Structure 1
Amino acid sequence: MIQNGIHHVTAIAGPARRNLDFYTRTLGLRLVKKTVNFDDPGAYHLYYGDAAGSPGTILTFFPWENAAAGRNGVGELQETVFRVPQGALGFWTQRLMAHGLERGEHFGETLLQFRDPDGLRLALAGLPGIEAEPAWTANGIAAEHAIRGFHSVSLMLERSEATGAILSDLFGFESAAREGDTVRYQVPGQALGGIVDLRAVGGFLPARLGHGSVHHLAFRAADDAAQQAMVRRLAENHRIQATEQKDRDYFRSVYFREPGHVLFEIATDSPGFAVDEPAEQLGQALKLPRFLQPHRDTIEAALPALA
Structure 2
Amino acid sequence: MELLGIHHLSAMTANAQKNVDFYTKILGLRMVKRTVNQDEPSMYHLFYGDEVGNPGTELTFFEIPRAGQNHNGNNSISTTSLRVPSDEALSYWENRLNQYEVENEGIIEQFGRKVLPFEDFEKQRLILVSDEKNLGVVGGHPWEKSPVDSTHGIIGLGPIHLTVPDIKPTEAILTRVMGFRRAGDYIHHQSSHSVVVYETGEGGTGGELHVQERPELKQERLGRGGVHHVAFRVSTESELRNWLAKLNEIGVGNSGFVDRFYFKSVYFREPNGILFELATDGPGFATDEDQDYLGESLALPPFLESKREEIEQKLNPIKY
- What TM-score comes out, normalization by structure 1 length? 0.94
Verify the 8 A CA contact 2:165 2:216 in the aligned structure 1.
Answer: yes
| Structure 1 unmatched ranges of 5 or more | none
Q: CA deviation at 1:166?
A: 2.3
Q: CA deviation at 1:149?
A: 0.5
DSSP-derived class of the 1:270 partner? strand
Match 1:251 to one of 263, 285, 295: 263
| Structure 2 unmatched ranges of 5 or more | 188-193
Verify the 8 A CA contact 1:171 1:219 in the aligned structure 2.
Answer: no
Q: CA deviation at 1:19?
A: 0.3
Which residue matches 2:190? Answer: none
DSSP-derived class of the 2:283 partner? coil
Q: CA deviation at 1:284?
A: 1.2
Match 1:141 to one of 142, 148, 171: 148
Q: CA deviation at 1:132?
A: 10
Q: CA deviation at 1:188?
A: 5.0
Which residue matches 1:157? Answer: 164
Q: CA deviation at 1:49?
A: 0.5
Alignment of 1:14-93 (within 5 A): 14-84=14-84, 85-93=86-94
DSSP-derived class of the 1:225 partner? helix
Q: CA deviation at 1:277?
A: 1.0
* Per-residue deviation, residues 23-75 of structure 1 (Å, max 9, x unmatched): 11100011010101111111110000011111111000001222111111111
* Per-residue deviation, residues 3-40 of structure 1 (Å, max 9, x unmatched): 42111000000110000011111000110101011111
Do the aligned partners of residues 164 and 127 (structure 1) sit closer, same or farther apart at CA in structure 2, a change above 3 Å counting? same
Q: CA deviation at 1:244?
A: 1.6
Q: Distance in 2 between matches of 1:91 and 1:64?
A: 33
Q: Distance in 1 between matches of 2:47 and 2:170?
A: 27
Verify the 8 A CA contact 1:28 1:137 in the aligned structure 2.
Answer: no
Identity of aligned residues (%): 39
Alignment of 1:1-307 (within 5 A): 2-84=2-84, 85-97=86-98, 98-103=101-106, 104-128=108-132, 134-180=141-187, 181-187=194-200, 189-190=202-203, 193-237=206-250, 239-307=251-319
Do the aligned partners of residues 129 and 264 (structure 1) sit closer, same or farther apart at CA in structure 2, a change above 3 Å counting? closer
What count of residue pairs does the alignment treat as equivalent? 306
Q: Using the TM superposition, name which of 120-129 and 209-218 deviates more.
A: 120-129
Q: Distance in 2 between matches of 1:83 and 1:11?
A: 17
Q: CA deviation at 1:264?
A: 0.6
Q: Distance in 1 between matches of 2:236 and 2:117?
A: 34
Q: CA deviation at 1:168?
A: 2.7
Paired AA for residue 105 in structure 1? E
Q: Distance in 2 between matches of 1:213 and 1:133?
A: 25
DSSP-derived class of the 2:81 partner? strand
Do the aligned partners of residues 120 and 133 (structure 1) sit closer, same or farther apart at CA in structure 2, a change above 3 Å counting? closer
- What TM-score comes out, normalization by structure 2 length? 0.90
* Per-residue deviation, residues 98-148 of structure 1 (Å, max 9, x unmatched): 221003321121211111111111010123267997322444311111011
Query: RMSD of aligned C-alpha atoms?
Result: 1.9
Q: Distance in 1 between matches of 2:139 and 2:258?
A: 37
Q: CA deviation at 1:295?
A: 1.9
Q: Distance in 1 between matches of 2:219 and 2:140?
A: 39
Paired AA for residue 118 in structure 1? E
